[in-house]
């Protein structure tokens, strides 16, 4: 088959429009199930001058495209906002939108600067901060979890890695929120583009400072790195800082918010964790699968190929929907059920293949420390107001989460007493 097949009934759903995902009356789970069963390669037609694009909804197909860098490329953009605009300015320089040899070498650099020695030190700081902030929230009775805790943990972590001064972190947080998602309709694509540019300009200034006075941070290490004997340019460093701050903040923050919201609504799962019936690491993977904060990534066809009997031609856009793949009945038993003990759990929250997220370790550490702190300091929690959803066709989640926490007096007392003396248990 060639060309674009007749659209199914569900074609009325426009995946390119952020308003689609803010519609409380739309049954997106049903939509994805229909696509997986009847149109695993679906054509989202052009709308109001915006290009059409292909949609993959099955877990197996998404993994196959992630593995295939012969027929598909990320160098023309990897999310709808850039793919539909015709490309990404960071292509060939920013890890997420670079392929081939340069991607391999750039990934090695980032894995080196994010070495176990560096990450273990950061993980210890994550633990201290998370336990302090959760303890304060529990002792005060409650807070807006999204603002007071979920916004602070990942931003503090990645900002410390990059050497961002503490006084600048709230400013960067406001920019990352505006860059890819928003709380309401008053933030448009012009605002988002301005926010992305401001992030780039901020890091350009920081790179200038580090060239004058290098430190122990990731920016200084990137400045000292090279590929094939050629040092990374200022633009290379800036673009990869942008990628780290966006990736390191948005997805972890939204996952944490969804974690508390979901557990508040499922006290039986929360009690399983409290009683030690499920391992924290296993629970982290289910939290990630369930939240699926990054709804999609995308690729452009570079060499003619075929999927589900449809010929894909060079230049066409193919989008890979984690939001659907992580609910695929072909891979997950009872995919619509939140099960902290789920194993195996081959979720796609971090992507797959050559572009598997370099920050996955830290993201898991952050979520694990959150779960452990909640388990140690509170007997339960509940939402006090309805959360406010973000507006995006890339990310999903909530920007507010007012919650009340019930204190665990024994756990709080143990933490206040500090570690037992050596030899005493």
Q: pLDDT of 196-212, one tens digit each?
A: 899 999 999 999 999 99
CA-to-CA distance for 182 and 83, rounded, in angstroms?
20
Is 9-416 in CATH node 3.40.50.150? no
Nearest CA among 323, 209, 247 for reference residue 95: 247
Query: If you search the block for the tokens 């309709």, which residue do you land on?
Result: 185
CB count in 10 Å sphere of residue 316: 19
Model confidence at 12, in pLDDT bands (50, 70, 90)?
A: confident
Written as six digits, the tokens of 374 are 């909640």
Collect all residues with Cβ–Cβ distance below 8 Å to 247 and sequence separation of at least 6. 96, 357, 359
Strand partners, 72: 301
pLDDT at 176 over 90: no
Helix (H) or strand (E) segment spanning residue 299: strand 296-301
CA-to-CA distance for 120 and 7, rounded, in angstroms?
50
pLDDT at position 6, please? 47
Collect all residues with Cβ–Cβ distance below 8 Å to 46 and sequence separation of at least 6. 52
Tell me how many degrees the CA angle 416-418-422 measures, rounded to the nearest 5: 160
Question: What average pLDDT does range 137-166 have in this prediction?
Answer: 93
Higher pLDDT, 310 or 179: 310
pLDDT at position 235, please? 95
Q: What is the mean pLDDT of the chain?
A: 91
- How much of the chain, in percent, has pLDDT values that exceed 90? 77
Which region holds residue 308: left if phi is over 0, alpha if psi is between -120 and 50, else beta?
A: left
pLDDT at position 182, please? 56
pLDDT at 424 over 50: no
DSSP state of 43: E
How far, CA to CA in Å, does 405 sit from each of 207, 241, 362, 378?
Answer: 42, 36, 26, 6
Question: What average pLDDT does range 214-231 have in this prediction?
Answer: 94
Helix, coil or strand: residue 366? helix
pLDDT at position 191, please? 83
pLDDT at position 184, please? 52
Helix (H) or strand (E) segment spanning residue 334: none
CB burial of residue 390 (10 Å; 0-12, 13-18, 19+): buried
Strands 296-301 and 317-321: antiparallel
CA-to-CA distance for 377 and 415, rounded, in angstroms?
9
Q: What pLDDT, in 10s, does the model give residues 320-330?
A: 999 999 999 99
CA-to-CA distance for 375 and 414, rounded, in angstroms?
13
CA-to-CA distance for 56 and 36, rounded, in angstroms?
8
Model confidence at 1, in pLDDT bands (50, 70, 90)?
A: low
pLDDT at position 188, please? 66
Strand partners, 310: 307
pLDDT at position 89, please? 86
Q: What pLDDT, in 10s, does the model give residues 330-369?
A: 999 999 999 999 999 999 999 999 999 999 999 999 999 9
CA 77 to chain centre: 17
CA-to-CA distance for 206 and 154, rounded, in angstroms?
20
CA-to-CA distance for 326 and 331, rounded, in angstroms?
8
* Long-range pairs, 263-271, Cβ under 8 A, ≥24: 263/374, 263/381, 264/381, 264/382, 264/383, 264/403, 266/338, 267/380, 269/338, 269/339, 269/340, 270/380
Domain ranges in the chain are 9-416
How many residues in total does the chain contain?
425
- For 370, list phi and psi in degrees, rounded to 5: -60, -50
Contact 256, 399 (CB under 8 A): no
CA-to-CA distance for 309 and 312, rounded, in angstroms?
9
CA-to-CA distance for 76 and 298, rounded, in angstroms?
9
Q: What pLDDT, in 10s, does the model give residues 381-423?
A: 999 999 999 989 999 999 999 999 999 999 999 998 876 444 4
- How much of the chain, in percent, has pLDDT values that exceed 70? 94
Model confidence at 178, in pLDDT bands (50, 70, 90)?
A: confident
Q: What pLDDT, in 10s, does the model give residues 243-287?
A: 998 888 888 999 999 999 999 999 999 999 999 999 999 999 999
Exposed e or buried b per residue across 347-368, where buried means at least 16 C-beta atoms within 10 angstroms of its C-beta: bbbbbbeebebbbebbbbbbbb
How far, CA to CA in Å, does 242 sit from each of 152, 248, 327, 382?
Answer: 18, 10, 30, 35
Nearest CA among 383, 387, 378 for reference residue 408: 378
DSSP state of 168: G
Strands 317-321 and 378-383: unpaired
Contact 34, 10 (CB under 8 A): yes
């Amino acid at each position: 088959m060639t060309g674009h097949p007749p659209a199914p009934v569900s074609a009325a759903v426009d995946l390119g429009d952020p308003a689609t995902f803010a519609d409380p009356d739309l049954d997106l789970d049903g939509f994805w199930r229909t696509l997986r069963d009847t149109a695993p390669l679906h054509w989202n037609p052009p709308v109001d001058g915006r290009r059409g694009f292909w949609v993959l909804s099955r877990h197996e197909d998404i993994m196959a495209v992630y593995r295939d860098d012969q027929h598909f490329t990320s160098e023309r953009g990897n999310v709808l906002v850039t793919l539909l605009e015709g490309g990404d300015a960071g292509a060939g320089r920013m890890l997420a939108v670079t392929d081939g040899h340069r991607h391999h070498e750039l990934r090695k650099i980032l894995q080196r600067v994010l070495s176990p020695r560096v990450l273990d030190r950061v993980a210890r700081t994550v633990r201290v901060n998370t336990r302090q902030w959760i303890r304060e929230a529990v002792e005060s009775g409650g807070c807006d979890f999204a603002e007071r805790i979920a916004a602070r943990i990942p931003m503090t972590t990645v900002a410390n890695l990059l050497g961002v001064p503490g006084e600048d972190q709230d400013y960067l947080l406001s920019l990352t929120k505006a860059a890819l998602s928003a709380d309401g309709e008053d933030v448009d694509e012009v605002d988002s583009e301005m926010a992305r540019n401001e992030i780039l300009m901020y890091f350009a200034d920081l790179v200038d400072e580090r060239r004058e006075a290098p430190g122990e941070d990731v920016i200084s290490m990137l400045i000292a790195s090279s590929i094939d004997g050629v040092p990374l340019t200022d633009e290379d460093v800036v673009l990869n800082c942008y990628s780290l701050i966006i990736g390191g903040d948005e997805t972890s923050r939204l996952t944490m918010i969804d974690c508390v919201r979901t557990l508040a609504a499922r006290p039986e799962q929360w009690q399983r964790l409290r009683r030690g019936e499920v391992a924290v690491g296993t629970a982290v993977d289910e939290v990630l699968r369930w939240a699926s904060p990054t709804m999609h990534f995308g690729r452009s066809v570079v060499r003619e190929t075929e999927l589900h009997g449809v010929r894909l031609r060079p230049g066409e856009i193919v989008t890979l929907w984690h939001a659907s793949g992580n609910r695929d009945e072909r891979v997950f038993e009872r995919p619509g059920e939140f099960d902290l003990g789920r194993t195996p759990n081959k979720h796609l929250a971090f992507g797959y293949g050559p572009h598997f997220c370099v920050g996955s370790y830290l993201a898991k550490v952050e979520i694990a420390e959150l779960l452990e702190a909640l388990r140690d300091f509170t007997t339960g929690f509940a939402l006090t107001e309805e959360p406010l959803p973000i507006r995006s066709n890339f990310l999903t989640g909530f920007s507010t989460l007012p919650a009340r926490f019930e204190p665990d007096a024994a756990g709080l007392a143990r933490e206040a007493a500090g570690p037992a003396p050596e030899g005493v248990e």
